[in-house]
Structure 1
Amino acid sequence: MRPQIDSAPWSTAVSIASTHGEPGSHPLPAIDAHRIRVHLSPATRSFCRETGYPALREVGDIDLIPSGTAGGFDAETAYESLEIRLSPTVLDRVAAEIGRPASAGAFEMRHMLRNDRIFLLARALENDLTASSPSGILYAESVGVALAIQLLGLTEDPPARAIRLSPNQLKRVLSYIDAHLDQPLTLETLSREAGVSSSHLRTWFKVATGLTVHRYVLRRRVERARVLLLQGALRPSEVALEVGFAHQSHLARWIRREFGCTPNSLRRTRPSR
């Protein structure tokens, strides 16, 4: 029986699928993407075709399958898992940006890996999938870069050779964000605006602002939405599109988180004329 899959492809760089599989054979044909499979079910007995050994998979066990490599397993019981697909170009780009070019042995097939950071990043993408991907491409790309760093065996410490954003570079990025809140924003676009690599922007933007790029963009969108709602000229659904939220429900979620109220109740607080 084929597994049931709910997936969210944010871009060609990174995607995630939540999988429910029944007992039986589960081949994994070779594809043009690195696969990170995170097991979510307790005590699932399986037989690994690659190693030829039985295994008892538990929550958090991770299998890494490089691009162009086939795999597969036989499951004795039903299971739940996440599969993250990461484009090889992401791994190569991040490796080059941080001065550690990827080699053929940089990312090898691994089974039953335990890595808390990868597990948490996978869960973050899963939460976004469950919420119909409200955070969008920028968030997925940021997580993709973090996953690439983990796969390269590096820590998240800022590289010694990195250069901090200058005041002009930071100003250009912040101005670009404010001018394009209604459009999809990506790390690649913002790093081009700053004139630095995406991994350096990700690190030094937080040093400069105290926020991740994704969190800063969300905050600016919510602040812009608040102003528009108080002006009262646009309906909440129109405000959501104006500030770059894909759906009104996503706007409502973040308005409630930041201000403790709904868009409609915030709109009703505008001063009467």
Structure 2
Amino acid sequence: MRWTAARWNLPLLAPPSILQMSGHALHGTTGVERYRIRFWCLNLYEGTGQLAIAGQVFPIRPGYASLTVPDRDMEYRYEGRAHLVWTHFHPAAGAGTVPIPVMQDLGRDFDRIRAEIVDATGVLHARPERAAAKLWDVLWRLVERSAPEHPAVSHAALRSALAQIDRRLTEAISIAALAEELEISQTHLNRLFREAVGTTVSGYIRRRRVARAHHLLIHSTLPIRVVGVQSGFPDPHHFNKAIRRELGRSPKRVREQARTFDSSPCPD
């Protein structure tokens, strides 16, 4: 397998829990660095070298980002000093998964994504929920910017389905009717979604609605009932149940935690 095709399945339908973050770390001063960790790790690189994970080698270049998983033997070999921005985190337990590259070239997006992680580092101890929201957004961007490389995403029916779902997110969406409009079977449509975004059509719709609701709960002052309606959950009971299932707490609690200081510091 070419290194550009390597993917992990990352649970990402709910915000992750951050353990530690660093807006600036120097590596490459102690020779080969070997690790076996018990958490996920996002690295943004300003340096050159290579990363070996269980025998597979990935190049490290300025502007690259890597994501590593728990309980894997890893070996970093830097060519001189390398500056890193990194985040250690646990994905939300029980959240649905999406494919995300092990290593990717961020190109022109690197500076913007790096700035987001640095900003999240600055608010981690005072506002951990806000930092988690920033990391969640960055991880989704890493997923979405790599999606066009997947063959399924080039399928015209899938592109049309994604666009229609975004336009009609607040409406009742019939998957059978959507497949009929696209002139493909519902089974084929679900297969395209599984290949491209790691979940079924209904799972993707739920994910998009929960993500919109989470954003509005944190970043707006709209009443919770209105947030539900604008996210595609017109029934308050259904909205409360969906948010509890995906985020592990009620909509009210999601909003409260985003606006209050958390007394539990990130472990050293």
> TM-score, normalization: structure 2?
0.44
- Which structure has the larger Rg? 1
> TM-score, normalization: structure 1?
0.43
Bigger RCO of structures 1 and 2 (CA < 8 A, at least 6 apart) = 2
